[in-house]
Amino acid sequence: MGYEVTDATVALTGLIRGRVQGVFFRAETLARARKLGLKGWVKNTREGDVAVLLAGPEEDVRSMQNWLRSDPPLARVDSVELTECAPPACSGFEIRY
């Protein structure tokens, strides 16, 4: 299920804005990212948004990016602002506090 950092590895980081706190958004994101075998994290921000770092094979990262935009259950996503970054040195996907 994991991957090695290769030329095909893509990493994105940024914010998801909308009604994304208090609606199990982080838990749903965690489950979806682990299902795809992605590396990274998800966490709430003080401003009421959710920050993410996603890394993995391009197809899986793009699939996750599309899922984030699709208004996961109970959430209302107003915007997803992700930019490319260096792949993280982490071994899985987690919720950060």
Q: Which residues are catalytic?
A: 26, 44
Please give the helix or strand (H or E) that residue 28 lies within, else none: helix 25-36
Cα distance between residue 97 and residue 56, in whole Å: 22
